[in-house]
């Protein structure tokens, strides 16, 4: 290096120092600066927002030097500026914002409601609400717009075309579901984390769970027994109700008609004032019944029913805490009419021939109440407490009705009348804390559940079971993109000895394009009170519980990978693949004990030694602006054995395929949607002295809809067709059933091809 070069560099350095010392924009003299925070929708000041000021050099050197405070009623926070800083602003219910400030200045920031991105937020099994991409669990989300496009009125219709989910139908017990071959008591269904109780024959009637005022449905496959305890062996379905809204007043009046004879009306209302949120909903659903046997008068395969529901939810959101109170009421009257028969009548001392019918009335109530409290001590430290009650009350009464005079009377036979009551109280508290600069996150929790049932068809008329548990998990994030989360649960059950329940989840994400997940979990399920103590014998039923039942004990492994590839501008191609393995010991099911003579067979609960399901799926998705196309194929293998060595093992392979399409024309405000699913053959098992394997044949389901908005989205009309293939009953062979299906060689699937229209009137201010 020559002397001229050295001289020129020294002059340049002196000139740069002179500019720094003399230019105001680079002179860091102490002075007052302010941060003003306003709402993104209306520009009004946002009080009690958390403002964190970190020195820029301190952040670079990983030192802990910062000041923090709250904005005042004008949305303003003042601080002394001495050098460049990083400003972080957060408020519960709003998105977090980060900025770098290099000079003394007063800045205004607009914070948007978190509900604007609610479709990208999940809460099931999470430390705190976050995006599905960052969750260690693979959480599938069905958002409110998809539910509208499907024309879904209840949980059954919302899950109709979902991969990995298979639906069943019983004429009296209602609809049920399975995830990856695990059904009945093995799938936990919740509303805002509160379990829904009241299973009949292990089935929770999905048509009794309304979804009128919800934000989304979250589905997690595989065992979540560590977090949610028993009944979460196969997976969890969590219905998330509305939590935040931007408008002060939001009213929605909905009318729904379906050509099969379904008439629905509901009203949803939301109110926001200062830190308060209030949501109300109520409605009436009516279904006139449907049958494929037109020659049988009065009788309906799909029973007529009338439903009323009402829900209320109140939230108060402070700067560091949130309080929520909610309550729900549901009432359903279902009518099972027999065919008419001729008999003698002795009314009014007159003897004459008349026609009578037997009417079984099923009156069901589902009350639910919950109170939750969240307090955020500081960033990464949070306490959540939930106290809830969930109930199920069902009255079963047999009436004899004179079809000429229309008079009816209760049949004087105690074994034909029944009242069943289920009550469950839940208290759960979790505490989350962060350490080592958020590279370690801890969650600790305790939970108690108390379940009581009273009914005439259970031993001694009353039974109770309690669970007391403690659980914890650690999420380790040492390498960027890699999260490892081991967890464990310790449970005391008042009737069974519960083993330690561990789980391990691993997630690796690379630039939000590639996400890999792998998990192992131990699943555990204690027998339900009905499985233990049921006693029901009459002319048509011979059912018995089993006090010697052992809990189900299972092991599950899951793995998945997804890859998103941008193609040019606004074009995205997504590929994903997943695999699962479920191995359940002592699975609880029915055993058939043939009777001698004219008496019906006796069905009794017992433990099957080994039940295994495993399989995998491949999915491909394409998204461009307002166009979305998704396809996926799934293969599931079932294995069942009831001997120690598995010499009687039965195997079965089942395929499924789904496809969905959605396109929006913005100028016409028109959206077309289509949902298709091929449901492959499914195995049906029963056990006598040996395993008997039957099959339910495959079938197709296709739903389409067209949605159009008018008058600046104040009016929305949705029309469409459901089950356009026209499926009603599907052939099933080689199986005996305890349910109420058609019998012979058919099971109910749907009521054929129908068309629907939905009108939504919206008012917002």
Query: Closest Cα partner for 441 from 451, 431, 426?
Result: 431
Q: What is the pLDDT of residue 579?
A: 97
Top pLDDT among 60 and 24 is at 60
Q: For the segment 393-441, what is each residue's pLDDT rounded down to a tens digit?
A: 999 999 988 888 888 888 887 777 889 999 999 999 999 999 888 889 9
Q: What is the pLDDT of residue 375?
A: 94
User: At residue 71, does pLDDT exceed 90?
Assistant: no
Q: What is the pLDDT of residue 349?
A: 66
Q: Which helix (H) or strand (E) holds 11?
A: helix 3-22
User: Do 582 and 613 form a contact (C-beta atoms < 8 A)?
Assistant: yes
User: At residue 559, does pLDDT exceed 90?
Assistant: yes
DSSP assignment letter at 289: -
* Section 89-95 average pLDDT: 74
| Percent of the chain surpassing pLDDT 90 | 50
* Section 344-372 average pLDDT: 86
User: At residue 60, does pLDDT exceed 70?
Assistant: no
Q: What is the pLDDT of residue 596?
A: 60
Q: For the segment 696-738, what is each residue's pLDDT rounded down to a tens digit?
A: 999 999 999 999 988 888 999 999 999 999 999 898 886 655 5
User: Do 154 and 189 form a contact (C-beta atoms < 8 A)?
Assistant: no
User: Would you tell me how many other CB atoms lie within 10 Å of the CB of residue 26?
Assistant: 11
Top pLDDT among 636 and 667 is at 636
* Section 755-760 average pLDDT: 96
User: At residue 5, does pLDDT exceed 70?
Assistant: no
Q: What is the C-alpha to C-alpha distance for residues 689 and 247, in angstroms, rounded to an integer?
A: 64
Top pLDDT among 25 and 7 is at 7
- Length of the chain, please? 765
Q: Between the CA of residue 39 and those of 247, 262, 317, what are the distances in Å? A: 12, 43, 15
**pLDDT band per the 50, 70, 90 thresholds, residue 59:** very low
Q: For the segment 315-330, what is each residue's pLDDT rounded down to a tens digit?
A: 998 888 999 999 999 9
**pLDDT band per the 50, 70, 90 thresholds, residue 1:** very low
Q: What is the C-alpha to C-alpha distance for residues 500 and 595, in angstroms, rounded to an integer?
A: 41
Q: Which of 112-116, 182-186, 241-245, 553-557 has the lowest mean pLDDT?
A: 112-116
**pLDDT band per the 50, 70, 90 thresholds, residue 65:** low
**pLDDT band per the 50, 70, 90 thresholds, residue 389:** very high
Domains of the chain, first to last: 3-112 (2.60.40.10), 235-764 (2.40.170.20)
User: Do 317 and 279 form a contact (C-beta atoms < 8 A)?
Assistant: no
| Percent of the chain surpassing pLDDT 70 | 89
Q: What is the pLDDT of residue 128?
A: 77
On whether the pTM is more than 0.75, the answer is yes
**pLDDT band per the 50, 70, 90 thresholds, residue 67:** confident
Q: For the segment 257-307, what is each residue's pLDDT rounded down to a tens digit?
A: 999 999 999 999 999 988 899 999 999 999 999 987 766 788 888 999 999
**pLDDT band per the 50, 70, 90 thresholds, residue 756:** very high
Structure tokens at 390: 């969930």
Angle CA 711–715–721, to nearest 5: 130
Q: What is the pLDDT of residue 688?
A: 75
Top pLDDT among 587 and 412 is at 587
Pairing relationship of beta strands 501-510 and 514-525 according to DSSP bridges: antiparallel
Q: What is the pLDDT of residue 471?
A: 96
Average pLDDT, the chain: 86
User: Do 303 and 361 form a contact (C-beta atoms < 8 A)?
Assistant: no
Taking the CA of residue 302 as centre, how many other CA atoms within 13 Å lie in the half-sphere pointing to its CB? Answer: 21
* Section 548-573 average pLDDT: 90
User: At residue 43, does pLDDT exceed 60?
Assistant: yes
* Section 126-138 average pLDDT: 82
User: Do 465 and 451 form a contact (C-beta atoms < 8 A)?
Assistant: yes
């Amino acid at each position: 290096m020559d002397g001229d070069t050295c001289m020129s560099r020294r002059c340049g350095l002196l000139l740069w120092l002179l500019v720094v010392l003399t230019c105001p924009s680079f002179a860091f003299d102490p002075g007052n600066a302010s941060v003003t925070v306003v709402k993104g929708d209306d520009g009004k000041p946002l009080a009690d927002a958390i403002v964190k000021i970190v020195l820029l050099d301190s952040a670079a050197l990983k030192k802990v030097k910062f000041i923090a405070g709250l904005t005042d009623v004008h949305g303003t926070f003042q601080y002394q500026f001495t050098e460049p800083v990083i400003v972080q602003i957060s408020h519960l219910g709003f998105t977090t914002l980060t900025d770098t400030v290099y000079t003394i200045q007063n800045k205004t920031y607009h914070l948007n409601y978190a509900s604007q991105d609610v479709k990208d937020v999940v809460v099931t099994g999470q430390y705190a609400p976050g995006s599905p991409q960052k969750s260690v669990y693979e959480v599938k989300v069905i958002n409110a717009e998809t539910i509208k496009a499907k024309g879904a009125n209840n949980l059954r219709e919302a899950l109709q075309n979902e991969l990995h989910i298979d639906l069943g139908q019983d004429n009296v017990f209602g609809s049920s579901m399975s995830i990856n071959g695990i059904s009945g008591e093995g799938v936990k269904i919740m509303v805002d984390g509160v379990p829904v109780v009241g299973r009949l024959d292990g089935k929770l009637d999905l048509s009794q769970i309304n979804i009128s005022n919800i934000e989304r449905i979250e589905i997690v496959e595989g065992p979540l027994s560590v977090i949610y305890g028993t009944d979460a062996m196969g997976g969890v379905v969590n219905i998330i109700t509305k939590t935040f809204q931007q408008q002060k007043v939001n009213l929605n009046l909905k009318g729904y008609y379906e050509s099969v004879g379904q008439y629905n009306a509901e009203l949803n209302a939301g109110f926001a004032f200062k830190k308060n949120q209030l949501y109300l909903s109520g409605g009436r659903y009516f279904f006139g019944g449907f049958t494929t046997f037109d020659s049988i008068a009065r009788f309906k395969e799909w029973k007529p029913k009338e439903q009323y529901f009402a829900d209320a939810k109140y939230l108060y959101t402070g700067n560091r805490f949130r309080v929520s109170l909610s309550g729900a009421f549901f009432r359903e009257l279902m009518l099972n009419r027999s065919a008419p028969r001729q008999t003698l009548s002795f009314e009014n001392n007159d003897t004459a021939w008349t026609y009578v019918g037997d009417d079984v009335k099923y009156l069901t109530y589902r009350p639910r109440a919950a109170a939750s409290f969240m307090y955020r001590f500081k960033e990464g430290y949070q306490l959540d407490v939930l106290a809830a009650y969930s109930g199920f009350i069902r009255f079963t009464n047999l009436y004899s009705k004179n079809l000429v005079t229309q008079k009816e009377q209760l049949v004087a036979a105690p074994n034909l009348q029944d009242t069943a009551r289920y009550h469950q109280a839940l208290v759960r508290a979790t505490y989350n804390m962060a350490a080592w600069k958020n590279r370690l996150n801890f969650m600790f929790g305790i939970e108690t559940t108390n379940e009581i049932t009273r009914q005439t068809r259970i031993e001694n008329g009353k039974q109770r079971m309690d669970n007391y548990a403690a659980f914890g998990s650690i999420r380790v994030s040492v390498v960027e993109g890699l999260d490892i989360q081991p967890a464990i649960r310790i449970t005391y059950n008042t009737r069974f000895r519960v083993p330690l329940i561990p789980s391990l989840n691993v997630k690796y994400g690379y630039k939000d394009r590639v996400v890999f997940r792998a998990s192992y979990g131990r699943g555990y399920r204690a027998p339900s009170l009905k499985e233990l103590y049921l006693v029901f014998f009459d002319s048509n039923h011979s059912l018995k519980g089993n006090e010697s039942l052992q809990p189900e004990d299972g092991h599950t492994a899951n793995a998945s990978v997804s890859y998103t590839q941008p193609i040019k501008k606004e074009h995205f191609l997504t590929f994903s693949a997943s695999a699962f393995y479920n191995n359940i010991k002592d699975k609880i099911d029915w055993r058939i004990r043939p009777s001698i003579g004219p008496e019906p067979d006796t069905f009794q609960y017992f433990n099957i030694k080994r039940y295994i399901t495993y399989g995998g799926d491949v999915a491909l998705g394409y998204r461009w602006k307002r166009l979305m196309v998704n396809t996926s194929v799934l293969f599931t293998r079932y294995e069942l054995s009831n001997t120690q060595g598995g010499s009687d093992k039965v195997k079965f392979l089942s395929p499924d395929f789904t496809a969905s399409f959605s396109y929006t024309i913005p100028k016409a405000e028109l959206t077309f949607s289509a949902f298709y699913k091929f449901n492959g053959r499914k195995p049906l098992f029963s056990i006598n002295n040996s395993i008997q394997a039957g099959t339910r044949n495959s079938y197709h389901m296709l739903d389409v809809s067209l949605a159009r908005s008018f008058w600046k989205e104040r009016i929305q009309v949705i029309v469409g067709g459901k089950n356009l293939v026209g499926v009603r009953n599907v052939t099933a062979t080689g199986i005996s059933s305890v349910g109420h299906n058609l019998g012979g060689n058919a099971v109910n699937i749907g009521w054929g091809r129908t068309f629907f229209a939905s009108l939504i009137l919206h008012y917002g201010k």
